Amino acid sequence: MKIGFIGLGIMGAPMAGHLLAGGHEVVSSIHKTSAAKELLDAGLTVVDNAKAVAAAAEIIIVMVPDTPQVEAVLFGANGVAEGLSAGKLVIDMSSISPIETKVFAEQIKAKGCGYLDAPVSGGEVGAKAASLTIMVGGGQADFDRATPVFELMGKNITLVGDNGVGQTTKVANQIVVALTIEAVGEALVFASKAGADPAKVRQALMGGLAQSRILEVHGERMIKRTFNPGFRIELHQKDLNLALQGAKALGVSLPNTANTQELFNSCAAHGDQVLDHSGMVTALERMANHKVAKD
């Protein structure tokens, strides 16, 4: 297939690379990216703008940071919508507002095209390993059409409901991830300040009920002080804002999500919003006046 891919960042670049490796022709409008040379060497075609991407491709994938960027890519000047013709499929793999997603889907579908919201979980590691979890909202026929493409980028691929439900699922995922990072951070700060070796504590916990992917990956980051992203704190802040805004609209209380967002806010106030989200532990360390391990 000829696939358009808009957003060749930390996540998007390796995802597009897997599509090229899978034998698809990939078209993008992004000229400058750290992965540009590697992707160009693999056969990436570059065109002038998102409109040209949509005109050239059967399936158009969008992978950008937030709701305003998705809206601009889809409906701005020289955007995707201007290059669409009936029968094409737009897939938004960004993590954005479920409410706005439904609006975007209706506008694209009014042009005779399909629309899937398909946010991912797994971070840079999952993107590079083609092991992402992909949470999809949309129709069955569109999902079936996109599944071979998804399978080149991820492992756990689920159609969870109609348009918007994929994004709702991603928000739920980000609540779980944030609260688990916070729990692992608290545990390691506590153990370290009590005099225990945090690396050995983590190793012991990995064999019990506390075992988790967060403890495995981000617990190690906290101990080794490797806070290069990954998935930036500022992006997780954005996702928790979506959770808290949605909760307000639904009349639901998310007390621990709110508390965890305040820890991210503390990190951002210290200029650490560009750290990996495992860097949340630094806010806990400031309160304890103790680091899990030496830098």
Cα three-residue angle 93-239-216, rounded to 5 degrees: 85
pLDDT of residue 295: 80
**The amino acid at 59:** I
Q: pTM above the 0.85 mark?
A: yes
> Among the options 88, 170, 238, 291, which is catalytic?
170
pLDDT of residue 160: 98
Residue 294 is a catalytic residue: no
d(CA 96, CA 166): 10
Question: Does residue 185 have a cis bond before it (omega within 30 degrees)?
Answer: no
pLDDT of residue 36: 75
Q: At what angle do helices 165-193 and 255-269 cross, to 10 degrees?
A: 70
Residue 6 near residue 64 (C-beta atoms within 8 A): yes
pLDDT in tens, the chain (295 residues): 999 999 998 899 999 999 999 999 999 987 666 667 889 999 999 999 999 999 999 999 999 999 999 999 999 999 999 999 999 999 999 999 999 999 999 999 999 999 999 999 998 889 999 999 999 999 999 999 999 999 999 999 999 999 999 999 999 999 999 999 999 999 999 999 999 999 999 999 999 999 999 999 999 999 999 999 889 999 999 999 999 999 999 999 999 999 999 999 999 999 999 999 999 999 999 999 999 998 8
β-sheet bridge partners, residue 158: 135
H or E element at residue 254: none
β-sheet bridge partners, residue 59: 3, 89
pLDDT of residue 95: 95
Pairing of strands 132-137, 120-121: antiparallel
d(CA 87, CA 108): 11
Give percent helix, percent strand, percent coil of the chain, each to the nearest 5: 55, 15, 30
CA proximity to 292, closest of 219, 232, 230, 227: 219
pLDDT of residue 25: 98
